[in-house]
Chains A and B, each alone.
Chain A
């Protein structure tokens, strides 16, 4: 007994389409298939023109983020068996321009990511002869959760503030800034604050919490941002009380 699943996929080819439009495909239903397997089946056997990003097929590379029945998901992480009797509607990630079919333009994210200086910034450079930086398990535990981001952009697709304001730095970038601010080897909080504590940084966030709900790696960017709001407010207050004092 062979069963089928219907996929409605948003197509957009700039050279022939003035606007995106849905195209319907039928794929076999397999108990162990994910949506990505369906897309690969289409590409290999039905319509080679379908464009989409993918790589690891195991929810670690962050490439295959897309809207599946209106929810941001990794295509390799969405099982056909969970959509058993539905038509599966597949669209590119919300809140990004569409490059082609399911491929989005993510340049803005790359800029936002680099703007928060996502690397250890040390006040003093240690000479190699002094050996490596030491970190206790407790010190690692303080920021480990925020290291797990795979830059899949599901959080940006879920966040209404990303929808309403293109310049919002966004959940993943702010969570990563928090990761470095919490790292015992790092002294760069002040430098990052220029972007992180700006109006387009943490202050655009209204704690909707959708970002943390959709994150496949449980990074909890919403928590990172709220913690940063408190820390940035205390820093602001300290600076106001003691102008000119540098941390």
Chain B
């Protein structure tokens, strides 16, 4: 037995859990209900302006990357609970998916 390096996976998981809990529901409320109903149109100019702003980029990155990591880590642990083990394949699939999402997010925010 030796000291585990799990904290490097767990700390962002914990942070992502809190961020997800605080911000994801209202985001879904907006994009899934208020926008389709026409109450919040989310016009391109307004969204692009927010995403052009460095602070806006940081907020968008945090709001997407941290919950994505949280989901990836949790689904890795759940895969183990469901009998899929905890081997290299499981880790590559879930953390790989998270890294892909994070990378695309960063890239999109740089491009926008």
Contact = CB atoms under 8 A, between A and B. Distances in A.
A86 interface: no
A236 B14 CA distance: 15
B81 A236 contact: no
Interface residues of B, number: 15
Interface stretch (A4-12, A17-25, A199-207, A210-218): A199-207
Contacts of A229: 10
Contacts of B11: 233, 237
Contacts of A121: none
Contact of A236 (B3, B77, B78, B80): B3
Contacts of B3: 193-194, 197-198, 236
Interface in A163-198: 164, 193-195, 197-198
A246 to B, nearest CB: 13
B46 interface: no
Nearest to A205: B77
Nearest to B83: A164
B38 interface: no
Contact of A198 (B1, B10, B14, B80): B1
Contact of B10 (A160, A194, A233): A233
Interface in A217-246: 229-230, 232-233, 236-237
A167 to B, nearest CB: 9
Nearest to B11: A233
B15 to A, nearest CB: 11
B81 A164 contact: yes
A194 B1 contact: yes
> For the complex, would chain A's binding face be called helix, strand, loop or mixed by DSSP majority?
helix
- Of listed B5, B7, B78, B80, residue having the most chain A CB within 10 A: B7
B80 A200 contact: no
B80 A164 contact: yes
A176 to B, nearest CB: 17
Nearest to B77: A206
Contact of B4 (A115, A160, A199, A237): A199
B26 to A, nearest CB: 25
A230 B8 CA distance: 12
Contacts of B2: 194, 198
Nearest to A206: B77
Interface in B1-41: 1-8, 10-11, 14
Given A194-B3, A233-B11, 20 more contacts: A160-B81, A164-B81, A194-B2, A198-B1, A198-B3, A198-B4, A199-B4, A199-B6, A201-B1, A201-B4, A203-B4, A206-B77, A206-B78, A230-B14, A232-B7, A233-B10, A236-B3, A236-B5, A236-B8, A237-B11
15 contacts: A160-B81, A164-B80, A194-B1, A194-B2, A198-B2, A199-B1, A199-B6, A203-B6, A203-B10, A206-B77, A229-B10, A233-B14, A236-B5, A236-B8, A237-B7
Instruction: State the 6 A-B residue pairs at the shortest beta-carbon distance, nearest first.
Output: A233-B7, A198-B1, A236-B7, A203-B6, A199-B4, A206-B77
